[in-house]
Amino acid sequence: MKRNLKIAFRTLLKGKLYTIINILGLTLGLTSCLLIGAVVFDELSYDTHWSHSKNLYRLLSIRENSGDYSQKGGTVFATLAPTLKHQFPEVVDYSEIYPAPIHLKIDKAGPVPLKATMLHADSAVMQLLDIRLLSHQDLTPSRDIKKIVISEQFSNTHFSGTNPLGKRIYDVPQYDEPNEYVIAGVMKDLPPNTHLRADALLLHERTEQELTNGGRGAHYARHYVLLRDGTDPTEFERKINAWYRDIPENDKGLQFGLQPMEDIYLKTDFPAYQLVKGNIRHSYIFMAVAAMLLLIACINYINLSTARASSRLKTTGVHKILGASRRQIMGQSLIESLLTFSAAGLIACLCYQLVLPSLQHFIGHPLAFRFGAGWPYLTAAFLVFLLICLFSGLYPAWLVSGFRAVGSINQVLKERSTNQKGLREALVVTQFALSIGILVALFVVQHQVDFLKNKDVGFDTEGLLSLNHVSWDNKASVLKAELAQHPDILSASFSTWLPTDGAGYMTRLIDDPRDPGNKTDLWYIAGDPDMAQTLGLRLKEGRFLNGSKPGDAIEATDLDAAFNSIRPCLITASTAHMLGITQLNVPLHEAKIIPVGIIDDFNSESLHNATVPTVIVGQRNPSYGALLIRSRPGTSQRVMRSVAATWKSLYPDKLIDMQIVRETLAKQYEAEEKLQEIFGGFSLLTMLLAALGVFGLVVHATSLRVKEIGIRKVLGASVSSIMRLLSADFVKLVLVAVVIASPIAWWAMNKWLEGFAYRIEIQWWMFAAAGAVAVTIALFTVSWQAVRAATANPVDSLRDE
């Protein structure tokens, strides 16, 4: 073995350039796989660490025949879970659990509150989740005292060196008066790989009221249930819905579902009031790209190893003449592969550790999964590494060991058979096809993101500001009057809705004219009568709501009128078409509206979703809600400072949450923007790896044709003709790769675009541009070595050895 290692080292050092190319390519591939693998495995590990994770489910509401909006929702009747526990032995326990952002002050007189996330839950949360208490007092929820359990990290950060138990902290709420909290416990930090990520736990009293009137009039809650071992969730779901259908007062279009705890993070593609959410499609994309990067690196190694096999025929022939068996020669070649892969693996591990902090900063949270976190992961990674090494080194080893001794020596300088050349060409085509596919994906993602950020959403975003939902404390009219005096504020309107808030503040089920016999949701947005003008909505027909007309707006606190009176409204063009409205000012009794104006469609949600049937109704004197402000173009920052000063004078104890609407809309597509950045990095890596492989092959091919090139130069060949000679074959291979990659990339990216209601069409130039980039890189790589060979002195190349 010692002799074999010595020979292997000598062989690798003899071909330093090829060894460096192989190690560099494999290092890039392995590092990329380690980093992407850490992210993907972390994503897949969300909420799998709870001891009851296999039996935990979130209750869902499923609205049948609800039009083109989402049928599922993450809330259910607050009385449903208690009833299920009493009615069905399959239910062990339940708990209302939800995280929410909060601003806290450690010192009540402190100037700057800190941002945190509070996990709201009832006392049964301890039975469902593995919350480990480090120290605590009495945790029994009380109406008079709000008791919280803070995380160990929160305690160390804000109460370092002191016992936090019994201390009081204060929130800065958007609604009502500030609340005082008593720290009743310290818990071990919740794992970062959970959608219930939080800094503190607020315990509420448990709701045990059972379902009545089919749930009508009940509050909604986010409930989780723990089922007994062996319970079939699909069968239990059918059982729940059969039971609910038998209740006389049931909501005919409503069903309930069970979402497994382990699916919540990655597979929630519906409204669920969920702060932490992933995307299973992105995880699949990352896994595919990691496999592609590693495959390209392995192809580089196989290509260079097989191409250099001819230069080792003399050595192999001597070994065979001296009695070496094929098995021994294969073993020697595999040792060289193992050394190359080991060097690349060690460097990749170092790069992984160095890049990991930057990766965690990029994704926005620490990774719970680490390859070095335990022996099972290390063992699995090592076995995969060995398999990759064996896969990459086996064919070159078999090829080198298969040469006949006499034939090897006599034909040492001849190129190997057509089959071996054909294999190398196929591998080069595969490399570039993968690289071109990722480059096409980059172009598609980039243009889709640009489209999303620049598409006309139906209202004017220039100079539009928003104040998030808050209670106005009987000062709404004073605030609006103060803002009206500012010369750069054109208008300000209170609203129950803000862009990115969702489709509206309430819905009403009405008959769907497109599908007789079924219902659809009609969404309502309420606000000041001039809200449509503040938003910059475009009127197609009729008139806007008018504050001077008493009937155009009701008192916001008059809930009976809000739900039962027939009200004037603005209606979107697509909604008017759907409902067959041909004449304005005619009541629609089922919808309880009188359309007085038709406005152009506008996107009330992100462009992932299509527009939904929407109407705008008027209200005045709201107790709570949001505020839209229209400022003069170019004055947004000045207006924001002025509004903040006015806010401070009216609401000294409340934080102001003010946003530029254009930036708020752009934040909806942060995931796609990150995907664009990732594909940019992937494209660079794949092209670099492909170029490294081509460079190695060109160096080898040139070394085999040194005398041929010298003879051609003596006979008058120009530098350009020799460059064409050496580059033509590679350019042909890249063009073949373009032909192969284009339909596959078109299909894959069309599947990705299906997740958007508004999307671009994939254009021919994206494939042409990707092909042009690939050809340019191949030509540049080949040309550099070709020019060196073409400008070499033919006397040196033709000199006898």
Alpha carbons 104 and 218: distance in angstroms, whole number: 31
Residue 333 has pLDDT above 50, yes or no: yes
Residue 639 has pLDDT above 80, yes or no: yes
8 Å CB contact between 511 and 534: no
Of 65-69, 244-248, 701-705, the range with the lowest mean pLDDT is: 65-69
Residue 717 has pLDDT above 90, yes or no: no
Query: What integer pLDDT is reported at residue 415 of this predicted model?
Result: 43
pLDDT, greater one: 12 or 590? 590
Considering the chain, what is the average pLDDT of its residues? Answer: 85
Query: What integer pLDDT is reported at residue 380 of this predicted model?
Result: 79
Residue 321 has pLDDT above 70, yes or no: no
Bridge-partner residues for 569, per DSSP?
595, 617
Tokens 């500012």 correspond to 486
In Å, how far are 279, 475, 666, 759 from 450, measured between CA atoms?
20, 41, 10, 10
Query: What integer pLDDT is reported at residue 540 of this predicted model?
Result: 93
Query: What integer pLDDT is reported at residue 801 of this predicted model?
Result: 46
pLDDT tens digits, one per residue of 194-209: 999 999 999 988 878 8
CA angle 207, 208, 214 (to 5 degrees): 100
Query: What integer pLDDT is reported at residue 133 of this predicted model?
Result: 93
Residue 424 has pLDDT above 70, yes or no: yes
Q: Which residues make Cβ contacts (< 8 Å) with residue 329, sequence separation at least 6? A: 316, 319, 320, 397, 400, 401
Which pLDDT band holds residue 269 (cuts at 50, 70, 90)? confident
Residue 501 has pLDDT above 90, yes or no: no
8 Å CB contact between 172 and 655: yes
- For the segment 464-486, the average pLDDT, to the nearest whole number, is 92
Query: What integer pLDDT is reported at residue 794 of this predicted model?
Result: 66
Q: Which residues make Cβ contacts (< 8 Å) with residue 347, sequence separation at least 6? A: 23, 27, 31
Alpha carbons 304 and 703: distance in angstroms, whole number: 13
Query: What integer pLDDT is reported at residue 322 of this predicted model?
Result: 60
Residue 341 has pLDDT above 70, yes or no: yes
Alpha carbons 626 and 527: distance in angstroms, whole number: 9
Q: Find which of 175-184, 282-291, 331-340, 744-753 is predicted with most confidence, using mean pLDDT.
A: 744-753
Which pLDDT band holds residue 8 (cuts at 50, 70, 90)? low
What does the buried/exposed string (b/e) look like for 485-518 if buried means 16 or more CB atoms within 10 Å of the residue's CB? ebebbbbbbbbbbbbbbbbbbebbbbebeeeeee
A 10 A CB-CB count for 83 gives 22
Alpha carbons 303 and 421: distance in angstroms, whole number: 10
DSSP string, 528-588: -TTHHHHHTPPEEEE----TTSGGGEEETT-HHHHHHS-EEEEEEHHHHHHTT--SSS--B
The DSSP H or E segment spanning 628 is strand 624-631
Alpha carbons 536 and 103: distance in angstroms, whole number: 33
Which pLDDT band holds residue 725 (cuts at 50, 70, 90)? confident
pLDDT tens digits, one per residue of 656-691: 889 999 999 998 888 888 888 888 888 888 888 888
What's the chain's length in residues?
801
What does the buried/exposed string (b/e) look like for 453-463 if buried means 16 or more CB atoms within 10 Å of the residue's CB? eeeebbbbbeb
DSSP string, 731-742: HHHHHHHHHHHH
Token pair belonging to 689:
């790896």
Query: What integer pLDDT is reported at residue 95 of this predicted model?
Result: 94
Tokens 């480059």 correspond to 439
pLDDT tens digits, one per residue of 105-153: 888 777 778 889 999 999 899 999 999 999 988 888 877 788 999 999 9
Which pLDDT band holds residue 408 (cuts at 50, 70, 90)? very low
First and final C-alpha spacing in the chain = 34
Residue 69 has pLDDT above 50, yes or no: no
Residue 284 has pLDDT above 80, yes or no: yes
Q: Which residues make Cβ contacts (< 8 Å) with residue 462, sequence separation at least 6? A: 633, 662
pLDDT tens digits, one per residue of 502-518: 888 888 888 888 777 77
- For the segment 416-443, the average pLDDT, to the nearest whole number, is 80
Q: Which residues make Cβ contacts (< 8 Å) with residue 638, sequence separation at least 6? A: 488
Which pLDDT band holds residue 66 (cuts at 50, 70, 90)? very low
Residue 370 has pLDDT above 90, yes or no: no
Query: What integer pLDDT is reported at residue 431 of this predicted model?
Result: 87
Say if residue 480 is exposed, middle or buried (CB neighbours under 10 Å; 0-12, 13-18, 19+): middle
Query: What integer pLDDT is reported at residue 246 of this predicted model?
Result: 85
In three-state secondary structure terms, 134 is strand
Of 415-429, 483-497, 537-551, 598-612, the range with the lowest mean pLDDT is: 415-429
8 Å CB contact between 12 and 337: no
Query: What integer pLDDT is reported at residue 364 of this predicted model?
Result: 82
Query: What integer pLDDT is reported at residue 413 of this predicted model?
Result: 42
Residue whose C-alpha is closest to residue 425's, from 715, 191, 734, 676: 734
Query: What integer pLDDT is reported at residue 65 of this predicted model?
Result: 55
Task: Give pTM, 2 decimals.
Answer: 0.81
Residue 511 main-chain phi, psi, to 5 deg: -60, 140
Residue whose C-alpha is closest to residue 436's, from 296, 294, 285, 284: 296
In three-state secondary structure terms, 138 is coil
Is beta strand 220-221 parallel, antiparallel or unpaired with respect to 223-227? unpaired
Alpha carbons 575 and 610: distance in angstroms, whole number: 12
8 Å CB contact between 476 and 666: no
Which pLDDT band holds residue 417 (cuts at 50, 70, 90)? very low
Residue 607 has pLDDT above 80, yes or no: yes
8 Å CB contact between 390 and 384: no
